[in-house]
Amino acid sequence: MANDLLSVAGLNQFYGESHTLWDIDLVVPEGGCTCLMGRNGVGKTTTLKTIMGLLPAASGAITFDGAGIADWPTERRARGGIGYVPQGREIFPLLSVEENLRIARAAVGRRDIPALVYDLFPVLEEMRHRRGGDLSGGQQQQLAIGRALCLEPSLLMLDEPTEGIQPNIVREIGDIIRRLNREQGLTVLLVEQKLPFARRTADTFAILDRGRSVAAGAMEELGEDLVQKYLTV
């Protein structure tokens, strides 16, 4: 059995008075690809942001690579190896592709762009002088992933990377995630609502429902009962 690179235990989070995450448990085995699933508004994004330290946890443990990181500021989590591709991508639209990448790279004190980024995404090299905002949705998603890779993470968290993206590009993004996971040895925590995509890409799943962890296991064990109960709209 692989060790867990990331584990979350008993995580609680509040937006003001509103209790949003209730004792969330989640593990991401080292070298694996885990898909965090659940309907709209169940707390998937909140979970990733809390893992990243962008939202405060009220209680609970977050363990990454053997260290308790719940008190670490976001920057330290990022430098420590957690890469984050936010929902909606959040690239800088007025900066060039290259500037978007360099800003991320500066967080680890470097100016070069890792070869892997342009190797995985040749279109980013072709368009490196274009403004981020002039790229298509799929290209912006590639930029958001490339930017996360500039920090050379050991864990990559992606929040709905296929949302609002053309079907042919969805396939391409799936291929990239699988390549990063299986060839580059990157551990992946993916939030994804498209079931076929999740099945093709991830090897384990965890389901949230109304802010609670309700099921987890190997992807082959994600049966029709769970799909009906927690995932179909």
**102-121 positions binding ligand ATP, by CB under 6 A:** none
For 178, the 3-state DSSP assignment is helix
146 contacts which partner out of Mg ion, ligand ATP, none, CB within 5 to 8 A by kind? none
Distances (CA, A) of 144 to 46, 90, 119, 223: 19, 7, 15, 32
Kindly state the smallest distance separating residue 144's Cβ from Mg ion, in Å: 14
Kindly state the smallest distance separating residue 44's Cβ from Mg ion, in Å: 5
User: Closer to Mg ion at the Cβ: 86 or 138?
Assistant: 86
140 binds ligand ATP (CB under 6 A): no
Q: Comparing C-alpha atoms, which of 101, 110, 87, 96 is closest to residue 160?
A: 87
Q: Report the residue from 1, 17, 40, 228 that binds ligand ATP according to the rule CB under 6 A.
A: 40
From CA 26, how far away is CA 11, in angstroms rounded?
Answer: 9
Task: Order the strands of the 155-159 sheet from edge to edge.
Answer: 67-68, 59-64, 4-15, 18-29, 212-218, 204-209, 33-37, 187-191, 155-159, 82-85
DSSP state of 135: S
Chain centre distance of CA 214: 20
85 contacts 145 by C-beta, under 8 angstroms: yes
41 binds ligand ATP (CB under 6 A): yes
Q: Comparing C-alpha atoms, which of 163, 121, 113 is closest to residue 139?
A: 121
User: Closer to ligand ATP at the Cβ: 50 or 124?
Assistant: 50
**84-103 positions binding ligand ATP, by CB under 6 A:** 87
- Residue tagged 């996971």 (tokens): 181
Q: Which stretch binds Mg ion (CB under 5 A): 15-23, 31-39, 47-55, 79-87?
A: 79-87
Q: Which stretch binds ligand ATP (CB under 6 A): 44-52, 98-106, 195-203, 212-220?
A: 44-52
Q: Report the residue from 8, 32, 38, 101 that binds ligand ATP according to the rule CB under 6 A.
A: 38
Q: Report the residue from 20, 45, 47, 139 that binds Mg ion according to the rule CB under 5 A.
A: 45
From CA 131, how far away is CA 139, in angstroms rounded?
Answer: 11
Q: Report the residue from 34, 46, 141, 201 that binds ligand ATP according to the rule CB under 6 A.
A: 46
Q: Which residues bind ligand ATP (CB under 6 A)?
A: 15, 18, 20, 38, 40-46, 87
Instruction: Give contact residues for Mg ion (rule: CB under 5 A).
Output: 44-45, 87
